[in-house]
Structure 1
Amino acid sequence: MHRIVFAFPTLEQHLRAVRATPQSYRPKVCIHCGGACLWCHGCYHRKADRGEDGSLNPAPVPRFRCPTCRRTCSRLPLCICPRRWYDWALQQQVLLLLLIGASLRRVAAVFALSYHTVRRWWHWLQAHGATFMFHLRSRFAELGRAADSTTFWLTCFARMPLCEAMAWLDHDDQDVP
Protein backbone atom coordinates (compact mmCIF):
# COMPACT_ATOMS: atom_id res chain seq x y z
CA MET A 1 0.00 0.00 0.00
CA HIS A 2 1.18 3.45 -0.75
CA ARG A 3 0.98 6.16 1.85
CA ILE A 4 0.71 9.04 -0.63
CA VAL A 5 -2.33 9.31 -2.92
CA PHE A 6 -1.41 10.80 -6.30
CA ALA A 7 -4.55 12.91 -6.46
CA PHE A 8 -5.31 16.19 -4.73
CA PRO A 9 -2.24 18.41 -5.23
CA THR A 10 -3.83 21.28 -3.29
CA LEU A 11 -5.22 21.39 0.21
CA GLU A 12 -8.56 22.71 -1.06
CA GLN A 13 -8.95 19.70 -3.38
CA HIS A 14 -8.06 17.37 -0.51
CA LEU A 15 -10.68 18.90 1.80
CA ARG A 16 -13.37 18.63 -0.92
CA ALA A 17 -12.43 15.00 -1.59
CA VAL A 18 -12.53 14.02 2.08
CA ARG A 19 -16.03 15.47 2.34
CA ALA A 20 -17.42 14.30 -1.01
CA THR A 21 -15.56 11.10 -1.92
CA PRO A 22 -13.66 9.69 1.07
CA GLN A 23 -13.53 6.28 -0.64
CA SER A 24 -10.94 7.73 -3.05
CA TYR A 25 -8.42 7.37 -0.20
CA ARG A 26 -9.27 3.76 0.66
CA PRO A 27 -6.31 1.42 0.00
CA LYS A 28 -6.94 -1.79 -1.91
CA VAL A 29 -5.04 -3.95 0.58
CA CYS A 30 -3.59 -3.67 4.07
CA ILE A 31 0.03 -2.53 4.21
CA HIS A 32 0.71 -4.89 7.11
CA CYS A 33 -0.91 -8.21 6.13
CA GLY A 34 -2.20 -7.77 2.57
CA GLY A 35 -5.80 -8.28 3.66
CA ALA A 36 -8.57 -6.65 1.68
CA CYS A 37 -11.74 -4.72 2.58
CA LEU A 38 -10.25 -2.12 4.91
CA TRP A 39 -12.77 -0.16 6.97
CA CYS A 40 -12.91 3.57 7.34
CA HIS A 41 -11.57 4.29 10.80
CA GLY A 42 -12.08 8.02 11.19
CA CYS A 43 -9.28 10.47 10.70
CA TYR A 44 -6.61 12.41 12.47
CA HIS A 45 -5.90 16.07 11.88
CA ARG A 46 -2.77 17.81 10.63
CA LYS A 47 -1.84 21.46 10.52
CA ALA A 48 -1.24 21.57 6.79
CA ASP A 49 -2.15 25.16 5.93
CA ARG A 50 1.00 27.20 6.47
CA GLY A 51 -0.55 30.42 5.18
CA GLU A 52 -0.76 33.51 7.34
CA ASP A 53 -4.35 32.89 8.41
CA GLY A 54 -4.22 29.07 8.47
CA SER A 55 -7.91 29.02 7.58
CA LEU A 56 -7.82 25.45 6.23
CA ASN A 57 -6.46 23.97 9.46
CA PRO A 58 -6.88 21.39 10.77
CA ALA A 59 -6.83 19.15 7.69
CA PRO A 60 -8.30 15.67 8.16
CA VAL A 61 -6.20 12.66 7.13
CA PRO A 62 -8.33 9.52 6.57
CA ARG A 63 -7.48 6.37 8.53
CA PHE A 64 -8.37 2.80 7.69
CA ARG A 65 -8.47 -0.39 9.76
CA CYS A 66 -7.80 -3.91 8.56
CA PRO A 67 -10.39 -6.44 9.80
CA THR A 68 -7.83 -9.25 9.50
CA CYS A 69 -4.87 -7.93 11.50
CA ARG A 70 -6.73 -5.06 13.22
CA ARG A 71 -3.98 -2.56 12.47
CA THR A 72 -4.56 0.89 11.04
CA CYS A 73 -3.02 2.93 8.26
CA SER A 74 -3.58 6.41 6.90
CA ARG A 75 -3.40 7.94 3.43
CA LEU A 76 -2.03 11.40 2.69
CA PRO A 77 -2.86 13.59 -0.29
CA LEU A 78 -0.10 14.79 -2.58
CA CYS A 79 -0.15 18.21 -0.89
CA ILE A 80 0.74 17.02 2.64
CA CYS A 81 4.25 15.86 3.38
CA PRO A 82 4.48 12.86 5.72
CA ARG A 83 6.46 13.39 8.91
CA ARG A 84 7.42 16.96 8.06
CA TRP A 85 6.07 20.27 9.27
CA TYR A 86 6.66 22.22 6.03
CA ASP A 87 5.03 21.52 2.69
CA TRP A 88 6.69 20.05 -0.38
CA ALA A 89 6.71 23.33 -2.31
CA LEU A 90 8.80 25.13 0.32
CA GLN A 91 11.18 22.18 0.58
CA GLN A 92 11.61 22.21 -3.20
CA GLN A 93 12.42 25.94 -3.22
CA VAL A 94 14.98 25.46 -0.45
CA LEU A 95 16.60 22.50 -2.23
CA LEU A 96 16.70 24.40 -5.53
CA LEU A 97 18.63 27.26 -3.98
CA LEU A 98 21.03 24.82 -2.35
CA LEU A 99 21.51 22.98 -5.64
CA ILE A 100 22.48 26.13 -7.48
CA GLY A 101 25.10 26.91 -4.85
CA ALA A 102 23.53 29.09 -2.17
CA SER A 103 24.84 28.58 1.34
CA LEU A 104 22.80 26.94 4.09
CA ARG A 105 22.78 30.15 6.13
CA ARG A 106 21.69 32.28 3.20
CA VAL A 107 18.83 29.92 2.31
CA ALA A 108 17.70 29.79 5.92
CA ALA A 109 17.65 33.60 6.02
CA VAL A 110 15.77 33.92 2.71
CA PHE A 111 12.95 31.63 3.85
CA ALA A 112 13.08 32.57 7.56
CA LEU A 113 13.78 28.96 8.50
CA SER A 114 16.08 27.52 11.08
CA TYR A 115 19.58 26.81 9.83
CA HIS A 116 19.25 23.32 11.33
CA THR A 117 16.06 22.62 9.35
CA VAL A 118 17.70 23.62 6.07
CA ARG A 119 20.79 21.57 6.90
CA ARG A 120 18.64 18.54 7.81
CA TRP A 121 16.77 18.72 4.47
CA TRP A 122 20.05 19.09 2.57
CA HIS A 123 21.67 16.13 4.38
CA TRP A 124 18.49 14.08 3.83
CA LEU A 125 18.70 14.67 0.06
CA GLN A 126 22.41 13.85 -0.01
CA ALA A 127 21.96 10.69 2.07
CA HIS A 128 19.05 9.29 0.05
CA GLY A 129 19.82 10.92 -3.28
CA ALA A 130 21.50 7.94 -4.94
CA THR A 131 18.61 5.60 -4.15
CA PHE A 132 16.02 8.19 -5.15
CA MET A 133 17.86 8.91 -8.41
CA PHE A 134 18.01 5.19 -9.23
CA HIS A 135 14.27 4.72 -8.81
CA LEU A 136 13.31 7.93 -10.61
CA ARG A 137 15.69 7.18 -13.50
CA SER A 138 14.18 3.73 -13.90
CA ARG A 139 10.73 5.32 -14.21
CA PHE A 140 11.62 8.43 -16.26
CA ALA A 141 14.21 7.79 -18.97
CA GLU A 142 15.00 11.46 -19.62
CA LEU A 143 16.32 11.78 -16.06
CA GLY A 144 18.97 9.17 -16.89
CA ARG A 145 20.78 11.68 -19.07
CA ALA A 146 21.83 13.81 -16.10
CA ALA A 147 25.56 13.46 -15.47
CA ASP A 148 25.64 14.37 -11.78
CA SER A 149 23.24 14.71 -8.88
CA THR A 150 22.85 18.48 -9.18
CA THR A 151 21.90 18.22 -12.84
CA PHE A 152 19.62 15.30 -12.04
CA TRP A 153 17.62 17.18 -9.40
CA LEU A 154 17.41 20.36 -11.48
CA THR A 155 16.10 18.29 -14.42
CA CYS A 156 13.74 16.38 -12.13
CA PHE A 157 12.29 19.59 -10.63
CA ALA A 158 11.85 21.03 -14.13
CA ARG A 159 9.87 17.92 -15.09
CA MET A 160 7.78 17.48 -11.91
CA PRO A 161 7.37 19.04 -8.48
CA LEU A 162 9.03 17.47 -5.45
CA CYS A 163 5.67 16.20 -4.16
CA GLU A 164 5.17 14.16 -7.32
CA ALA A 165 8.72 12.78 -7.26
CA MET A 166 8.24 11.72 -3.63
CA ALA A 167 4.88 10.13 -4.47
CA TRP A 168 6.56 8.05 -7.19
CA LEU A 169 9.24 7.01 -4.71
CA ASP A 170 6.57 6.12 -2.17
CA HIS A 171 4.90 4.05 -4.92
CA ASP A 172 8.24 2.22 -5.28
CA ASP A 173 8.19 1.50 -1.52
CA GLN A 174 10.96 3.95 -0.73
CA ASP A 175 10.88 5.67 2.65
CA VAL A 176 10.16 9.33 1.99
CA PRO A 177 9.89 11.90 4.76
Structure 2
Amino acid sequence: MHRIVFAFLTFEQHLRAVVATPQSYRPDCCPHCGFGCLWGHGCYDRKADRGADGDLNPLPIPRFRCPSCRRTCSRLPLCICPRRWYGWALQQQVLLLLIAGASLRRTAAIFALGHHTVRRWWQWLETRHEHFAFHLRSRFASLGRSVGFATFWLACLQLMPLCEAMAWLDHDSVAVP
Protein backbone atom coordinates (compact mmCIF):
# COMPACT_ATOMS: atom_id res chain seq x y z
CA MET A 1 0.00 0.00 0.00
CA HIS A 2 1.15 3.48 -0.74
CA ARG A 3 1.08 5.47 2.47
CA ILE A 4 1.33 8.87 0.77
CA VAL A 5 -1.41 10.16 -1.55
CA PHE A 6 0.05 12.27 -4.38
CA ALA A 7 -2.98 14.46 -4.96
CA PHE A 8 -2.93 16.99 -2.10
CA LEU A 9 -0.10 19.51 -1.92
CA THR A 10 -1.53 21.84 0.72
CA PHE A 11 -3.34 21.49 4.03
CA GLU A 12 -6.36 23.29 2.55
CA GLN A 13 -6.62 20.81 -0.34
CA HIS A 14 -6.36 17.96 2.14
CA LEU A 15 -9.15 19.38 4.34
CA ARG A 16 -11.45 19.84 1.32
CA ALA A 17 -10.74 16.29 0.13
CA VAL A 18 -11.42 14.71 3.54
CA VAL A 19 -14.85 16.38 3.58
CA ALA A 20 -15.83 16.23 -0.11
CA THR A 21 -14.11 13.10 -1.46
CA PRO A 22 -12.89 10.87 1.38
CA GLN A 23 -12.80 7.91 -1.02
CA SER A 24 -9.73 9.50 -2.66
CA TYR A 25 -7.75 8.32 0.37
CA ARG A 26 -9.12 4.75 0.42
CA PRO A 27 -6.37 2.18 -0.33
CA ASP A 28 -7.01 -0.51 -2.93
CA CYS A 29 -6.14 -3.28 -0.49
CA CYS A 30 -5.08 -3.94 3.08
CA PRO A 31 -1.32 -3.39 3.58
CA HIS A 32 -1.26 -6.21 6.11
CA CYS A 33 -3.20 -9.09 4.51
CA GLY A 34 -3.97 -7.87 0.97
CA PHE A 35 -7.77 -8.06 1.32
CA GLY A 36 -9.37 -5.63 -1.12
CA CYS A 37 -12.36 -4.00 0.55
CA LEU A 38 -11.35 -1.65 3.37
CA TRP A 39 -13.93 0.25 5.40
CA GLY A 40 -13.71 3.84 6.49
CA HIS A 41 -12.80 3.88 10.17
CA GLY A 42 -12.99 7.57 11.05
CA CYS A 43 -10.05 9.90 11.40
CA TYR A 44 -7.32 10.69 13.85
CA ASP A 45 -6.07 14.21 14.50
CA ARG A 46 -2.55 15.32 13.70
CA LYS A 47 -0.85 18.63 14.41
CA ALA A 48 0.88 19.29 11.12
CA ASP A 49 0.39 23.03 10.58
CA ARG A 50 3.64 24.50 11.92
CA GLY A 51 2.79 28.03 10.81
CA ALA A 52 2.97 30.95 13.23
CA ASP A 53 -0.68 30.66 14.18
CA GLY A 54 -1.36 26.97 13.39
CA ASP A 55 -4.94 27.76 12.31
CA LEU A 56 -5.51 24.42 10.62
CA ASN A 57 -4.55 22.23 13.58
CA PRO A 58 -5.57 19.57 14.23
CA LEU A 59 -5.77 18.06 10.74
CA PRO A 60 -7.93 14.94 10.29
CA ILE A 61 -6.12 11.91 8.84
CA PRO A 62 -8.50 9.26 7.43
CA ARG A 63 -8.24 5.73 8.81
CA PHE A 64 -9.38 2.49 7.25
CA ARG A 65 -10.13 -0.93 8.74
CA CYS A 66 -9.77 -4.31 7.09
CA PRO A 67 -12.76 -6.61 7.69
CA SER A 68 -10.54 -9.63 7.14
CA CYS A 69 -7.61 -9.09 9.54
CA ARG A 70 -9.29 -6.26 11.52
CA ARG A 71 -6.19 -4.06 11.44
CA THR A 72 -6.26 -0.37 10.59
CA CYS A 73 -4.16 1.81 8.32
CA SER A 74 -4.11 5.46 7.35
CA ARG A 75 -3.02 7.52 4.36
CA LEU A 76 -1.32 10.91 4.39
CA PRO A 77 -1.47 13.75 1.89
CA LEU A 78 1.73 14.79 0.13
CA CYS A 79 2.03 17.86 2.36
CA ILE A 80 2.41 15.86 5.61
CA CYS A 81 5.58 13.96 6.40
CA PRO A 82 5.08 10.54 8.01
CA ARG A 83 6.64 10.13 11.45
CA ARG A 84 8.17 13.61 11.44
CA TRP A 85 7.27 16.74 13.36
CA TYR A 86 8.31 19.16 10.60
CA GLY A 87 7.09 19.31 7.01
CA TRP A 88 8.89 18.34 3.82
CA ALA A 89 9.40 21.94 2.68
CA LEU A 90 11.41 22.89 5.78
CA GLN A 91 13.43 19.68 5.58
CA GLN A 92 14.22 20.44 1.94
CA GLN A 93 15.46 23.94 2.79
CA VAL A 94 17.64 22.56 5.59
CA LEU A 95 19.11 19.85 3.35
CA LEU A 96 19.85 22.32 0.55
CA LEU A 97 21.70 24.61 2.95
CA LEU A 98 23.74 21.68 4.29
CA ILE A 99 24.57 20.51 0.76
CA ALA A 100 25.72 24.05 0.00
CA GLY A 101 28.29 23.67 2.80
CA ALA A 102 26.73 25.34 5.82
CA SER A 103 27.53 23.81 9.20
CA LEU A 104 24.94 21.90 11.21
CA ARG A 105 24.89 24.54 13.97
CA ARG A 106 24.63 27.44 11.54
CA THR A 107 21.78 25.75 9.66
CA ALA A 108 19.98 25.00 12.91
CA ALA A 109 20.32 28.64 13.99
CA ILE A 110 19.01 29.96 10.67
CA PHE A 111 15.86 27.84 10.86
CA ALA A 112 15.49 28.00 14.67
CA LEU A 113 15.81 24.23 15.00
CA GLY A 114 17.79 22.09 17.40
CA HIS A 115 21.16 21.10 15.95
CA HIS A 116 20.42 17.48 16.93
CA THR A 117 17.33 17.59 14.71
CA VAL A 118 19.32 18.95 11.78
CA ARG A 119 22.05 16.34 12.31
CA ARG A 120 19.44 13.56 12.50
CA TRP A 121 17.89 14.64 9.18
CA TRP A 122 21.32 14.87 7.54
CA GLN A 123 22.41 11.45 8.82
CA TRP A 124 19.07 9.94 7.82
CA LEU A 125 19.56 11.08 4.23
CA GLU A 126 23.24 10.10 4.13
CA THR A 127 22.64 6.57 5.40
CA ARG A 128 19.76 5.93 3.00
CA HIS A 129 21.24 7.76 0.03
CA GLU A 130 22.30 4.69 -1.97
CA HIS A 131 18.94 2.98 -1.52
CA PHE A 132 16.95 6.13 -2.29
CA ALA A 133 19.17 7.03 -5.25
CA PHE A 134 18.79 3.55 -6.74
CA HIS A 135 14.99 3.74 -6.72
CA LEU A 136 14.82 7.35 -7.92
CA ARG A 137 17.32 6.70 -10.72
CA SER A 138 15.24 3.69 -11.78
CA ARG A 139 12.23 5.95 -12.18
CA PHE A 140 13.93 9.14 -13.45
CA ALA A 141 16.69 8.45 -15.95
CA SER A 142 18.06 12.01 -15.84
CA LEU A 143 19.16 11.41 -12.23
CA GLY A 144 21.47 8.65 -13.46
CA ARG A 145 23.94 11.29 -14.64
CA SER A 146 24.43 12.60 -11.10
CA VAL A 147 27.41 11.08 -9.32
CA GLY A 148 27.88 11.52 -5.61
CA PHE A 149 25.63 12.49 -2.74
CA ALA A 150 25.54 16.28 -3.18
CA THR A 151 25.17 16.33 -6.96
CA PHE A 152 22.48 13.68 -6.88
CA TRP A 153 20.32 15.49 -4.32
CA LEU A 154 20.79 18.85 -6.01
CA ALA A 155 19.67 17.32 -9.32
CA CYS A 156 16.78 15.52 -7.63
CA LEU A 157 15.54 18.64 -5.83
CA GLN A 158 15.76 20.64 -9.06
CA LEU A 159 13.63 18.00 -10.77
CA MET A 160 11.00 17.73 -7.99
CA PRO A 161 10.42 18.83 -4.41
CA LEU A 162 11.49 16.54 -1.56
CA CYS A 163 7.88 15.62 -0.77
CA GLU A 164 7.39 14.28 -4.28
CA ALA A 165 10.68 12.34 -4.23
CA MET A 166 9.67 10.73 -0.93
CA ALA A 167 6.20 9.94 -2.30
CA TRP A 168 7.78 8.16 -5.28
CA LEU A 169 9.95 6.17 -2.88
CA ASP A 170 6.86 5.33 -0.82
CA HIS A 171 5.18 4.25 -4.06
CA ASP A 172 8.10 1.83 -4.59
CA SER A 173 7.56 0.46 -1.05
CA VAL A 174 10.70 2.10 0.31
CA ALA A 175 10.31 3.21 3.93
CA VAL A 176 10.50 6.99 4.23
CA PRO A 177 10.61 8.77 7.58
So what's the TM-score if we normalise by structure 1? 0.99
Q: Which residue is 2:163 aligned to? A: 163
Q: Does 1:48 align with 2:48?
A: yes
| In 2, Cα distance between equivalents of 1:143 and 1:27 | 30
| In 1, Cα distance between equivalents of 2:85 and 2:99 | 22
Structure 1 residue runs without a partner (length 5+): none
Q: CA deviation at 1:100?
A: 1.0
| In 1, Cα distance between equivalents of 2:96 and 2:130 | 17
2:147 maps to amino acid: A
After superposition, give the CA deviation of every residue in 1:73-126 in whole Å (9 maximum; x if it has no partner): 000000000000000000000000011111000000000000000000000000
1:138 maps to amino acid: S
Q: How does 1:19-34 map to 2 (within 5 A)?
A: 19-34=19-34
Superposed CA RMSD in Å reads 0.4
So what's the TM-score if we normalise by structure 2? 0.99
Q: CA deviation at 1:147?
A: 1.5
Q: Which residue is 1:117 aligned to? A: 117
* Corresponding pairs, count: 177
Q: CA deviation at 1:31?
A: 0.1
| In 2, Cα distance between equivalents of 1:14 and 1:48 | 12
Q: How does 1:1-177 map to 2 (within 5 A)?
A: 1-177=1-177
Structure 1 segments, 4+ long, off by >2 Å, are: none
| In 2, Cα distance between equivalents of 1:68 and 1:100 | 50
Structure 2 residue runs without a partner (length 5+): none
